[in-house]
Amino acid sequence: IDFSLLTEEDAKVGNGVVTTLDTTLQQVASDALGNNKGAVVALDPKTGEILAMVSKPTFNPNNLADEMNAANSGSGEDSPLINRAINGLYPPGSVFKTVTLTSALENIPSVVDRTFSDEGKIKFPDGRSLSNFGNNAYGSIDLKQAYKVSSNVVFGTLAMELGNDALKSTAEDYGFNSVIKGPGISITASRFPSLDSSEIGNIAQSGIGQSSVLATPMQMALVAATVGNDGVMMQPKLVKAIVDKDQNVVKTIDDKQLKQVMSSDIAETIQDYMVNLVNSNLSKWPAFEGTNAGGKTGTADYTLPDGSEATPHSWFISVAPMDDPQIAVAVIVENGGTGSGKAATVASKVVRQAVLGY
């Protein structure tokens, strides 16, 4: 074809999209994750706009043929073509305790006033047990303290008290077991199991984000965003406008409220617990200083195909500033060890950039 013969009317000129991504935040998130495998998702809790979305290992889209060959020739372990942020399913570990906390506040009267006895492990009738991380025993603690120290005993106990139906219902309110869609994005459904009342060990495990619970980083970012936004979940969106070739706006994509997941009172209690957790650890996570951030750590255990224990995944979810949230973040570092280490450090850098601009 001699393109010089085509008139302007002949040339098909398409529209373009304006994404919600913040390029500075995207760069900070990518740099913070570094060479680790994993994902970072950052949302605006009030609008649902996706401000950053990083998945590693990644690929170079400028050389797609070679990248596809490389991806298909290896063992598939690195899976660079999977967007871990929206399609990666992981055991969420203790970041899921935020969902269990929501369910307890909704369903167990006066739970905030209770004192729990944490002797370090729950023993089940079949001889199995559920222990705290590091075999810690916290003694007499309240719910706020249990959330801060991430007591498996307390949250496993709460899951058993709630029962599978109630906890599953709360998880589904947050979006588990359904495909969440938004402009420019479709998120793999996170999974929360249906368990028989006799499966008491699995029910306890589900309360701490283990058993067969699986979540995408985006799902956990939505949990954090919903808490920060006083219980209202906004639809995540990657596109905010469609423009023509001259950059005139053809269509604006409005923000959309998906649902009121919990009352604002319950959201406020969780906000308080999350801020307490971060404030108690500022010496460990100095980048959070001055951001009024809340957060939750997660350490997710899983087994390798041969049945041996793998190095756990490191998780962190955060919202900041809690009194007027501008960002909600979820970070997973595959095989990163405890959540208070690598994932928290990555999250703190992203939050700092969003709130303080450096």
- Helical (H) or strand (E) element with 167: helix 152-173
CB-based contact 278:318 (threshold 8 Å): yes
- The number of residues making up the chain comes to 358
SS3 category, 153 = helix
CB-based contact 196:129 (threshold 8 Å): no
Alpha carbon 144 to its chain's center: 21
Q: Look up tokens 């047990």; give the residue.
A: 129
At 60, which amino acid appears? N
SS3 category, 174 = coil
What DSSP letter does each residue of 257-319 carry, written as one string? Answer: EEEE-S-HHHHHHHHHHHHHHHHTTTTT-GGGTTS--EEEEEEE--B-TTSPBPPPEEEEEEE
From residue 343, how far is each of 134, 306, 330, 336, 347 by CA, in Å? 19, 26, 9, 7, 6
CB atoms within 10 A of CB 87: 17
Q: Is 94 a catalytic residue?
A: yes
Measured in degrees and rounded to the nearest 5, phi and psi for residue 335 equal 55, 35
Which three-class secondary structure string do you get for 96-136?
Answer: HHHHHHHHHHHHCCCHHHCCEEECCEEECCCCCEEECHHHC
At 134, which amino acid appears? G
SS3 category, 89 = coil
Separation CA 159–CA 213 (nearest Å): 13
Measured in degrees and rounded to the nearest 5, phi and psi for residue 197 equal -60, -20
Catalytic entry in 94, 206, 211, 348: 94
**Which positions are catalytic?**
94
